[in-house]
């Protein structure tokens, strides 16, 4: 299960993002970024929403523009997209990765449409040490013991759960079988580790199918999670007591 999720999550990242960002939305956001690159701040200031406007906006834009390398970008990639619709407005939040001959930065633009007007409600520029794809790629080298431990269990636990599930299905039980099947396929509690940063967390009140998962947003960081297969372990320990007597015994 965990490896299947790993493969699916890496499929067609750009296609997933295109569903949330129309060509018009992307063109508008990139136009504002181009204005920033060209130091044409008046166009951005005019479109800025009152929530981010003010006397300090110009100075902030100057500082942001200073983070952008000179010249034309060698690559521009949409790496994040989020749309929020309300009764009377729509906000599109787009994140682009810009490459400048070995230098990288991530730029975020949030645009709000309401009552026929379009305003900028968010704008940021963050330099990066490498491309997001390079930073977040899945690799086995240079990881901590905790990361290797979680990865190993993320492979073993789904296989264990699947084997116990097969045994449960094929075993004649004294009572109803479906509650045990549900109990077996879920793991309880969740230990989560970030594959890029090695940060980890434990969520006690949680459960997940087959006791493991591996997920990553488009161009984002891999996160592996494992759970304790309480149902599978319990069934193995109680299997003989739960089994129905053989016919004729």
Q: Look at the alpha carbons of 119, 121, 126, 130 in this order and tell me if their dihedral is positive or negative.
A: negative
Question: Domain boundary residue among 88, 116, 135?
Answer: 135
Q: Is residue 129 part of a domain?
A: yes
Q: How far apart are CA 103 and CA 87, in angstroms?
A: 41
Portion of the chain with pLDDT greater than 70, in percent:
92
Q: How confident is the model at residue 3 (pLDDT cuts 50, 70, 90)?
A: very low
pLDDT tens for each residue of 65-84: 999 999 999 999 999 999 99
Range of the domain at 70: 14-135
Looking at residues 107-113, what average pLDDT do you find? Answer: 96
Asked if 212 contacts 227 with a C-beta cutoff of 8 angstroms, the reply is yes
CB contact at 8 A, 91 and 110: yes
Say which CATH number the domain at 72 has. Answer: 3.10.450
Mean pLDDT calculated for residue range 91-116: 95
Does residue 84 sit in the same domain as residue 145?
A: no
Asked whether residue 145 falls in the same domain as residue 212, the answer is yes
Q: What pLDDT, on the 0 to 100 scale, is given for residue 64?
A: 97
Give the residue-averaged pLDDT of 154-180.
94
Please give the model's pTM, rounded to 2 decimal places.
Answer: 0.75
- For residues 36 and 39, what is the distance between their CA atoms, to the nearest angstrom? 5
Tell whether 244 is covered by a domain. Answer: no
Q: How many CB atoms lie within 10 A of CB 154?
A: 23
**Burial classification of residue 159, based on how many CB atoms lie within 10 Å of its CB (0-12 exposed, 13-18 middle, 19 or more buried):** middle
Report which of residues 9 and 208 the model is more confident about. 208
My answer on whether 121 and 32 are in the same domain is yes
Which residues have CB under 8 Å from 184's CB, separation 6+? Answer: 161, 164, 165, 168, 229, 231, 232, 235
Across the chain, what does the average pLDDT equal? 90
Give the three-class secondary structure for 90: strand
Greater pLDDT, 78 or 1: 78
In the chain, the number of structural domains is 2
Cβ atoms of 16 and 82 within 8 Å: the answer is no
């Amino acid at each position: 299960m965990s490896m299947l999720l790993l493969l699916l999550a890496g499929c067609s990242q750009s296609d997933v993002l295109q569903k949330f960002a129309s060509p018009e939305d992307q063109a508008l956001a990139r136009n504002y970024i181009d204005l920033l690159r060209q130091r044409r701040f008046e166009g951005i200031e005019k479109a800025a929403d009152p929530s981010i406007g003010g006397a300090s906006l110009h100075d902030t834009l100057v500082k942001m523009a200073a983070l952008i390398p000179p010249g034309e970008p060698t690559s521009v990639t949409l790496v994040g997209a989020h749309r929020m619709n309300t009764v009377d407005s729509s906000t599109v939040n787009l994140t682009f990765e810009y490459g400048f001959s070995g230098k990288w930065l991530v730029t975020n633009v949030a645009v709000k449409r309401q009552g026929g007007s379009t305003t900028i409600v968010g704008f940021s520029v963050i330099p990066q040490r490498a491309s997001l794809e390079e930073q977040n790629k899945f690799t086995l080298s240079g990881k901590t013991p905790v990361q290797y431990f979680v990865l190993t269990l993320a492979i073993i636990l789904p296989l264990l759960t699947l084997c116990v599930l097969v045994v449960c299905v094929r075993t004649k039980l004294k009572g109803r079988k479906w509650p045990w099947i549900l109990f077996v396929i879920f793991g309880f509690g969740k230990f989560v580790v970030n594959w890029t940063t090695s940060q980890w967390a434990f969520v006690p009140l949680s459960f997940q199918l087959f006791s493991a998962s591996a997920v990553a947003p488009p161009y984002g960081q891999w996160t592996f999670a494992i759970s304790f297969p309480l149902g599978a372990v319990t069934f193995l320990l109680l299997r003989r007591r739960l089994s129905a007597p053989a016919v004729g015994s």
